[in-house]
Amino acid sequence: MARTRNKEARWRRIVRGHAKSRLSIRAYCDQRGVKEPAFYWWRRELARRDAVPPAVIGRPNPAI
């Protein structure tokens, strides 16, 4: 679980850094040595994770 948290924290720093960099995503990824598709995937995944309240994640659906 710690590895997942570390990976998520790393990608949060990368995505946040891009927003401040004023570079294109391609240039930023080249500069940081990350793959562009991974950047897009993590940006979308982090937005998804931030949209779901933590208490809901992993909770069984009572309607089933």
Instruction: State the pTM of this model.
Output: 0.75
- Residue 56 has, within 13 A of its CA and on its CB side, a CA count of 6
| DSSP tag of 59 | -
Question: Residue 60: its pLDDT value, please?
Answer: 66
Tokens 């979308």 found at: 44
pLDDT tens for the chain, 64 residues long, are 677 889 999 999 999 999 999 999 999 999 999 999 999 999 999 999 999 776 656 666 666 6
- Helix/strand/coil (H/E/C) assignment for every residue in 2-55: HHHHHHHHHHHHHHHHHHHHCCCHHHHHHHHCCCHHHHHHHHHHHHHHHHCCCC
Question: Residue 53: its pLDDT value, please?
Answer: 75
Question: Residue 61: its pLDDT value, please?
Answer: 64
